[in-house]
Amino acid sequence: MNTRQMMVALWTIVRSEIRRFMRIWPQTLLPPSITMTMYFIIFGNLIGARIGKMDGVDYMDYIVPGLIMMSVITNSYSNVASSFFGSKFQRSVEEMIISPMPNWLVLSGFVIGGSARGLAVGIIVTAVSLFFTDLQIHHPFLTILVVIMTAILFSIGGFINALLGKKFDDISIVPIFVLTPLTYLGGVFYSIHTLPEFWQNVSLINPILYMVNTFRYGILGVSDINVGAAVGAIAVFIVIFFSAAMWLLRRGKGLRS
Amino acid sequence: MHAALSIRGLTKVYDNNFHALKGIDLEVPQGDFFALLGPNGAGKSTTLGVVSSLVRKTAGEVSIYGIDVDRDFARARYHLGVVPQEFNFNQFEKVEDIILTQAGYYGIPRRQAEDRAHQLLEDLGLWDKRHDAARMLSGGMKRRLMIARALIHRPRLLILDEPTAGVDIELRRSMWEYMKRINEQEGTTIILTTHYLEEAESLCRNIAIINHGEIVHNTSMRELLGQLSRETFVLDLASPVTHSPVIEGFDVERLDDAQLALSVDKGQRINDAFARLSEQNIEVVSMRNRANRLEELFVRMVEGSNDTKGQQGGIR
């Protein structure tokens, strides 16, 4: 395939992915906005008013970046996991396998599609948060960079999950038993400085902590961790995940017998 | 001139150690209408799966129009269109979108593909359904949708894996006409697997029979049918008979009051049998083959290869 043909093929996948989550917006875009509104009302307004400040900022302001990031992570991941597993289940993935598209192009198409949903939900949740607080972004470039990198990383994660999954249960196990606990324990609702030293150290092995804190630093200018190292770590994770997905695709894992 | 499809020493051993293909060789000339037949589990779909890269081969070489699928997979796949046995499209997508999306996977811009897609939708009788979700189509329409999708990028080699399974006879015949047309007018090489042997006999010029992962016969349809040394006809009689008439040199069996089965060996004249029947005041109104000719041969060859564990079976 020449470059132009590859761009057409890539756009075909991206277009299909975006159309898919837009077509079923009551299942993809609406639920996170309602859930996050509940978080803002209950944790931010009602409970947050009693908590006071966290790391020197109002509690409502403190949880907004974490909740935006939580939405981006879960939606990027689940979009690719459900879409690619769905195409495996319906066997429509065979349309792509028999085509001249290289593996990296198929992976990139789904990752861009998943990231698009993650970012769309992130924008919606950000818009909802403006009803509850007045966001001042301290480092716009870092904020955008880290949210895009996170969306890419978890889209690739969703792709790997879909490749390895054999039944629909397999694509809900990781979000329920891995992503949700790691996100809740990743400093969305609290600063790790509030924890005993032992649990602070345990928290440092949670990769989501670095994404949430870097994003929070971009918006609020406060962080529990070294932001530069965190951005580097996310980039390394992207390379590792992308390489793993490519290796699985080359072996035809879950796709070719 | 390169063959449309060339397979050399193709072997496939599945993870459970099942030897699905045992080093098969196959060559399909350009412009051919080729039948790949075999009983269930013989290795047909595995062979076609390897060609379309849905199945990983254990050993061997596959090339499409002289292009090795391992060395230049993208260029080889441009020449290939596949209509699989099972429905493999997004059931929730619209008919037209399924075809245009497939064009996109081949790098054909949507606007450029629209004319071709509309032509295929019209030719295959799907024009009125183009805005319907694929799940709303009947079984026959879904099969035609897969044919339209496979042809959108104008492949030179089209693989049809049981394309008329579960399709009613009228629609099946119209699909035959369409396949004949693209083979004759557009020069598309077609490889067909089917359980309707009448379909293979009326469409295909060359044939390979596969059993237990080995090619047990590979020849032209004409030559294969020429090997049929005995045919059995069912004769419909004008008036009832109470016993089987005896005709020297022919086997005659009374099926019921109004029907006889007459077996004719190669070289015998059927007129002689009619003359003897007429002498016995038995009038024949009409006649037909008792079984499809290819079906008779197929059964004998497969049974023969089963008896000799994969070696070519004897033909009566």
Residue of B12, B64, B100, B105 to mutate, interface with A, max A Cβ within 10 Å = B105
Contact with chain B for residue A37, Cβ under 8 A: no
Parallel/antiparallel/unpaired status of strands B189-193 and B157-161: parallel
Phi and psi for B201 in degrees, rounded to 5? -65, -40
Domain ranges of chain A: 3-251
Interchain CB distance below 8 Å, B84 and A94 = yes
Option in B54, B101, B109 nearest A98 (CB): B54
Residue corresponding to tokens 């090339």 = B63
Phi-psi region of B162 (alpha: psi -120 to 50; beta: other; left: phi over 0): left
Amino acid letter, residue A5: Q
> Cα separation of A38 and A42, whole Å?
6
Mind telling me how many Å the CA of B84 is from chain A's nearest CA? 10
Amino acid letter, residue B153: H
Given a contact cutoff of 8 angstroms between Cβ atoms, the answer to whether B264 and B273 are in contact is yes
Given a contact cutoff of 8 angstroms between Cβ atoms, the answer to whether A219 and A143 are in contact is yes
The predicted-structure confidence for B128-138, as pLDDT tens digits, reads as follows 999 999 999 98
pLDDT at B306 over 70: no
Cα A209-A213-A218 angle, rounded to 5 deg: 155
State the CB neighbour count (10 A cutoff) for residue A59. 21
How far is Cα of residue B23 from the mean position of the Cα atoms in its chain?
22
Q: Which fold has domain B229-292?
A: Alpha-Beta Plaits (3.30.70)
Interchain CB distance below 8 Å, B53 and A6 = no
Q: Which residue of B has its CA nearest to A4?
A: B107
Spatial CB neighbours of A223, under 8 Å, sequence gap ≥ 6: A213, A214, A216, A217
Using a 10 angstrom Cβ sphere, with 0-12 exposed, 13-18 middle and 19 or more buried, the burial of residue A246 is: middle
Q: What share of chain A is helix, strand, coil (3-state, %, to 5)?
A: 75, 0, 20
- Asked if the B5-225 domain carries CATH number 3.40.120.10, the reply is no
Q: What is the pTM of this model?
A: 0.83
Phi and psi for B49 in degrees, rounded to 5? -65, -40
Interchain CB distance below 8 Å, B106 and A5 = yes
pLDDT at B310: 41
Contact with chain A for residue B49, Cβ under 8 A: yes
| Confidence band of B248 (pLDDT split at 50, 70, 90) | confident
The candidate with the shortest Cα–Cα distance to A184, out of A210, A150, A209, A216, is A209
Question: Which residues sit opposite B262 in a β-bridge?
Answer: B233, B252
Contact with chain B for residue A257, Cβ under 8 A: yes
Mind telling me how many Å the CA of A87 is from chain B's nearest CA? 7
Given a contact cutoff of 8 angstroms between Cβ atoms, the answer to whether A231 and A214 are in contact is yes
Interchain CB distance below 8 Å, B53 and A90 = no
Residue corresponding to tokens 């992308």 = A242
* Predicted-complex ipTM score: 0.87
Interchain CB distance below 8 Å, A100 and B55 = no
Amino acid letter, residue B227: Q
> Between residues 197 and 256 of chain A, which touch chain B (CB distance below 8 Å)?
252, 256
The predicted-structure confidence for A125-164, as pLDDT tens digits, reads as follows 999 999 888 888 889 999 999 999 999 999 999 999 999 9
pLDDT at B229: 67
Q: Which residue of A has its CA nearest to B103?
A: A9
Question: Which residues sit opposite B211 in a β-bridge?
Answer: B214
Please list the rounded mean pLDDT of every run of 10 residues in chain A (257 residues). Answer: 93 95 91 90 83 83 90 94 93 92 96 96 93 87 94 96 91 88 86 86 87 90 84 93 95 84
Domain ranges of chain B: 5-225, 229-292
Option in B74, B82, B91 nearest A90 (CB): B91
- Segment B74-83 mean pLDDT: 92
* DSSP 8-state symbol, B240: -
| Confidence band of B313 (pLDDT split at 50, 70, 90) | very low
- Segment B59-85 mean pLDDT: 92
Considering only CB atoms, which chain A residues are within 8 Å of B104? 8-9, 11-13, 15
> Cα separation of B144 and B150, whole Å?
10
Contact with chain A for residue B71, Cβ under 8 A: no
pLDDT at B32 over 90: yes
3-state secondary structure of B254: strand
State the CB neighbour count (10 A cutoff) for residue A51. 16
Given a contact cutoff of 8 angstroms between Cβ atoms, the answer to whether A194 and A44 are in contact is no
> Cα separation of B95 and B176, whole Å?
22
Q: Which residue of A has its CA nearest to B85?
A: A91
Interchain CB distance below 8 Å, A87 and B74 = no
Option in B78, B101, B109 nearest A100 (CB): B78
The predicted-structure confidence for B249-290, as pLDDT tens digits, reads as follows 888 888 888 899 888 887 788 888 888 888 888 899 998 877
Considering only CB atoms, which chain B residues are within 8 Å of A16? 101
The candidate with the shortest Cα–Cα distance to A74, out of A149, A170, A183, A148, is A183
Interchain CB distance below 8 Å, B55 and A257 = yes
Option in A12, A92, A256 nearest B54 (CB): A256
